[in-house]
Chains A and B, each alone.
Chain A
Amino acid sequence: MVPFLKEQFTQAGKFSMFIGRFFKEIVLPPFQFNEFIRQCFAIGYKSLPLVSITGFIMGLVLTIQSRPTMTKFGAESWLPSMVSLSLIREIAPVVTALICAGKIASGIGAELGSMKVTSQIDAMEVSAINPYKYLVVTRILAATLMVPILVIFADVVGVFGGYIGYNVHGTIGLQRYFSEVIEHLDFLDLLPATIKTFFFGFFIGTIGCYKGFNASGGTASVGLAANSAVVTASLSIFIVDMLAVQITDLFF
């Protein structure tokens, strides 16, 4: 038990130092702008199809599933606003972040892990290129900025999915549906939900990089790094979400 705890604390310490280094390196020039743009493209743009499909299905399914209950209470007209509220406040951020943990964190973990075990990171280091700046800072920053954008995108597609879902059994015009949604949507629904997605993105990027950067040994450790990146990132999303909800609850 004691060695286990000791290991956990050592890991936590190392991870905190890794994060600390990010904030140190990000303020020191030079900034690897080209690599950052490339990562935004790889992380953001390439995840769009996946995020759109899941977003659409979430909206669709949620509407169809909620309809019987809402009808029972005679609150069918509330359906659009209820579905979009739960989508925007909770479901789209968390589900999109989980999808990103699966796609982005594992991708970064595997990429950096294999660079590590084949000495490519060392090769950068000996050519006097700071690999932390070039590989880690750019990826963490790209993930932190792209995940919120992906979530907003999923919100929109999800609400549209809800519109299709509504029209499976009822009829409502697109304009009417969206005005219904927007009418019940408060700025305070959007703000906390968006802020927490930056944290989701930050942890997805950081955990992917940390696991990859610390892969050691043979090629097997690349798989381990990718796997552990997904598991840890997914867990961290739930923890961040829980904290975010508590904090939001306190203030608003």
Chain B
Amino acid sequence: METQPIIAIKNLWKSFGKNKVLRGINLTVDKGESLVILGRSGSGKSVTIECLVGLLEADKGKLEVFGTDITKLDYKALNRIRLRIGFLFQGGALYDSMSVRENLAFTLKHHTAHLSEIEIEKQILEALDSVGLQEAIDKMPSELSGGMVKRIGLARTLIIKPEIILYDEPTAGLDTITAKEISELILSVQKKYKTTSLIITHDINCAKMTGNRIMIIKDGVIHAQGSYDELMNSPDDWVRSFFV
């Protein structure tokens, strides 16, 4: 069963009223792989991964994660799967009434009743170290810059040691240098934690740095896929337009 993909989306449909956002998405991600999904704003990239963790209910299709179709799971079983997946939100989604330390401790305390305060602190520091921001531990989210928010958001997902991390626009809204740092961080996290990644972006530099494989979404389906070089030299003008 080693060859079974860790994520398999089969014929995923999702619409909001008359707005048919996804019209049959098919994709698979293998263990240890890093797949990038490119697409214009509003093409349904976020909707795709929100369906994948059960934040949105799919209209039709199979969403297999670790070999189980999450659309058929009850709340408890779904939560067990969710604990193996990290989700980095587009805006970071840090709990703004809590300090960085509390943000990181929150999930940990909920799911591991047996951990001592010292052990929790140790894990918080380790996660913060992975994103290079140990000094921010006592700050409030409102005191952080955009790039720092993304890093802390990543540290918060790392603390549960996920096997998969879903990144929703990790570099959006950042300057090019900070964006590059975040892309490097994604690479280093992949190495250190041996995670499988699904990265959603419209930043071509980030896609180039972090992805083994790239898929482009258009009109609710996967329009093209391949390696960076293959897509850059694609005969399709629309695909090439991403690479300028």
Contact = CB atoms under 8 A, between A and B. Distances in A.
A119 B82 contact: no
A122 B89 contact: yes
A131 B45 CA distance: 24
B93 interface: yes
B160 A119 contact: no
A126 B53 contact: yes
Nearest to A32: B110
B162 to A, nearest CB: 10
Interface in A57-111: 111
Contact of B93 (A118, A128, A130): A118
Contacts of A120: 93-96
Contact of A126 (B75, B85, B95, B111): B85
A125 interface: yes
B89 A128 contact: no
Contact of A127 (B50, B90, B97, B160): B160
Interface residues of B, number: 23
A126 B107 CA distance: 10
A129 interface: yes
Interface residues of A, number: 14
A119 to B, nearest CB: 4
Nearest to A134: B110
B55 A125 contact: yes
B90 A128 contact: no
Given A126-B85, A127-B82, A118 B55 contact: no
Contacts of B85: 126
Nearest to B95: A120
Interface in B144-168: 160
A235 interface: no
Contacts of B111: 128
A129 B95 CA distance: 13
Nearest to B110: A129
Interface in B24-41: none
B83 interface: yes
Given A118-B96, A128-B111, A129-B110, A123 B82 contact: no
Given A119-B89, A119-B91, A126 B110 contact: no
A119 B90 contact: yes
Contacts of A126: 53, 55, 82, 85, 87
B79 interface: yes
Contact of B87 (A111, A123, A129): A123
A127 B90 CA distance: 16
Nearest to A127: B107
Contacts of A114: 96
B114 interface: no
Nearest to B75: A130
Contacts of B110: 127-129
B83 A127 contact: yes
Interface string B40-60: 000000000010010100000
B82 A128 contact: yes
A128 B87 contact: no
A128 B95 contact: no
Interface string B75-106: 10001101101010111011111000000001
Interface centre among B50, B80, B87, B111 (most CB of A within 10 A): B87
B212 to A, nearest CB: 24
A115 B106 CA distance: 15
Contact of A118 (B53, B82, B91): B91
Interface centre among A118, A119, A128, A130 (most CB of B within 10 A): A128
A130 B54 CA distance: 13
15 contacts: A115-B95, A118-B96, A119-B93, A120-B94, A120-B95, A122-B93, A123-B93, A123-B94, A125-B82, A126-B82, A126-B85, A126-B87, A127-B83, A128-B80, A128-B107
Given A119-B90, A127-B160, 15 more contacts: A118-B96, A119-B89, A120-B93, A122-B55, A123-B94, A125-B82, A127-B82, A127-B106, A127-B107, A128-B80, A128-B83, A128-B107, A129-B107, A129-B110, A130-B75
8 nearest A-B residue pairs (beta carbon): A128-B79, A119-B93, A123-B93, A127-B107, A126-B87, A128-B82, A119-B89, A128-B83
